[in-house]
Structure 1
Amino acid sequence: MPNWAWLAIAIVSEVVATSFLKATEGFSRPVPSIIVAIGYAAAFYFLSFALRSIPVGVAYAIWSGAGVVMVTGVAWIAYGQKLDAVALGAIGLIVAGVVILNLRPGHG
């Protein structure tokens, strides 16, 4: 599997885990707690495959940028957390940074 696909799987795994953290209620609820543990374990496992050819700084920038955007979307939908214009602008800057990082010559 291409290393970028491994990175995508790692990001989705991390987003699932982070999205379930609130539902664990301090790790007092077993099912969400297990989902969090498996999600984070999977995220780092798949990230290790991506790092075979993707530089760690690039992978982490993409991981964190995509993760912030996706977790924010989940929080908006699942938990009703609304964003103001400043927050939306900041997320837009994160997306722009990840795009620019990937458009530069010889990025990976």
Structure 2
Amino acid sequence: MAWLWLSVAVLFEVAGTISMKMSEGLSKPGLAVLMGIFYLISFGVMSLALKDIPVSIAYAIWSGAGITILAVVGLFSFQEPMTWLKAGSLLLIILGVAGLRMGSPEAKVPKNESIHQVADYPSSVLAWDVSLHRGAESKPTKEE
């Protein structure tokens, strides 16, 4: 369900940004109010997605999908130019978001799709996590 919430959040964020563009600098009050409503819904629904999706993954997908969709909307609806550099940069954004998703062990869906089941982490990830926390152990102080 979290992924559905994230998808809805993306769509409302895109609708909010389109409303912002069409409001012509917030000079059209109806569209300005609509923009605010769309953004509030987007953030509210995003908060539901964040219950089960790590914030780094959810935000990367939310922003990356929004950028990509808005680039296409800009191309067809607002006659914004699409250069090879712009298209290549969008591809890099998509690849970057996909890489974050695939490289994140905490974002893996449990095998039986139960939210309460702990995901299997590779031993290398667990060892890395432990080594990060070793430096945070209490160090002797000179208060004695």
TM-score, with structure 1 as normaliser: 0.92
Name the counterpart of 2:30: 31
Amino acid at match of 2:83: D
Number of paired residues? 107
Contact 1:65–1:94 under 8 Å retained in 2: yes
Q: Does 1:4 align with 2:25?
A: no
- Report the Cα distance in structure 1 between the residues aligned to 2:100 and 2:82, rounded to whole angstroms: 25
- Report the Cα distance in structure 2 between the residues aligned to 1:86 and 1:47, rounded to whole angstroms: 31
Amino acid at match of 1:71: L
1:49 Cα shift? 0.2
1:99 Cα shift? 1.6
Name the counterpart of 2:68: 69
1:103 Cα shift? 2.3
Q: Structure 2 matches for 1:42-53, cutoff 5 A? A: 42-53=41-52
Cα gap change, 1:61 to 1:10, in 2 (>3 Å): same
1:93 Cα shift? 0.4
1:102 Cα shift? 2.1
Structure 2 stretches lacking a partner, 5+ long: 108-144
1:83 Cα shift? 1.1
Name the counterpart of 2:95: 96
Name the counterpart of 1:19: 18
Larger relative contact order, structure 1 or 2 (CA cutoff 8 Å, min sep 6): 1
1:8 Cα shift? 0.6
- Report the Cα distance in structure 2 between the residues aligned to 1:4 and 1:92, rounded to whole angstroms: 22
1:77 Cα shift? 1.2
For residues 57-101 of structure 1, the C-alpha deviation after alignment (integer angstroms, 9 at most, x for no partner) is 111111111111011111111100011101100000001111222
CA RMSD of aligned residues (A): 1.2
Amino acid at match of 1:92: L
Higher Cα Rg, which structure: 2
Structure 1 stretches lacking a partner, 5+ long: none
For residues 38-69 of structure 1, the C-alpha deviation after alignment (integer angstroms, 9 at most, x for no partner) is 11000000000000011111111111111110
TM-score, with structure 2 as normaliser: 0.70
